[in-house]
Amino acid sequence: MIKQLPIFIKALFLIFLINSAFVLAYNSFSQSSMSGKNQINAEKLFKSNCSGCHLSGQNLIKPDKPLIGSQKLKSKESFSAFISAPPPPMPNFKNIVENPSHLDALYKYVTSLMGK
């Protein structure tokens, strides 16, 4: 058993080094992609809440009222007010409005669809 101790210690040290390398690589990646992270979150928010009816910035329910060019996107405040209490059949998205970072990310994403 004493003969195995140095191999065991070497194995633990090797595992520690590999683990440290992964942690450092992950932290480096996550710090360098913070700006991209909001875009990813906004895209996920859009896909999970909006794209069912507003695919590619259009409006599948009311085709004459697409997202692109909508006056509701003139400002973040008008966007927020609209998605808080939209006309039927659109559901409200108070959960997004009540989270400032989600609202900001979604507004930026939606306006980016317009090339704004």
Q: First-to-last CA distance in the chain?
A: 70
Lowest mean pLDDT, pick from 29-43, 62-76, 80-94, 102-116: 29-43
- The pLDDT score that the predictor gives to residue 6 is 74
Question: Pick the residue with more confidence: 32 or 86?
Answer: 86
Average pLDDT of the residues in 55-84 = 94
CA separation, residue 27 to residues 16, 30, 33, 38, 61 (Å): 16, 5, 10, 17, 43
**Is there a cis peptide before residue 89, judged by omega within 30 degrees of 0?**
yes
pLDDT digits (tens, 9 = 90+) for 3-62: 565 776 665 555 644 755 554 554 444 444 445 555 568 999 999 999 999 998 999 999
Q: Does 116 have pLDDT greater than 70?
A: no
- The pLDDT score that the predictor gives to residue 36 is 54
Neighbours of 80 (CB within 10 A): 20
Among candidates 63, 66, 56, which has minimal Cα distance to 109? 56
pTM for the predicted model, two decimal places? 0.64
Question: Pick the residue with more confidence: 73 or 41?
Answer: 73
DSSP 57: G
Residue 102 near residue 94, CB atoms below 8 Å: no
CATH 2.10.109.10 correct for 34-113? no
Spans of all domains in the chain: 1-32, 34-113
- The pLDDT score that the predictor gives to residue 25 is 55
Phi-psi group of 16: left, alpha or beta (phi > 0 → left; psi -120 to 50 → alpha; rest → beta) = alpha
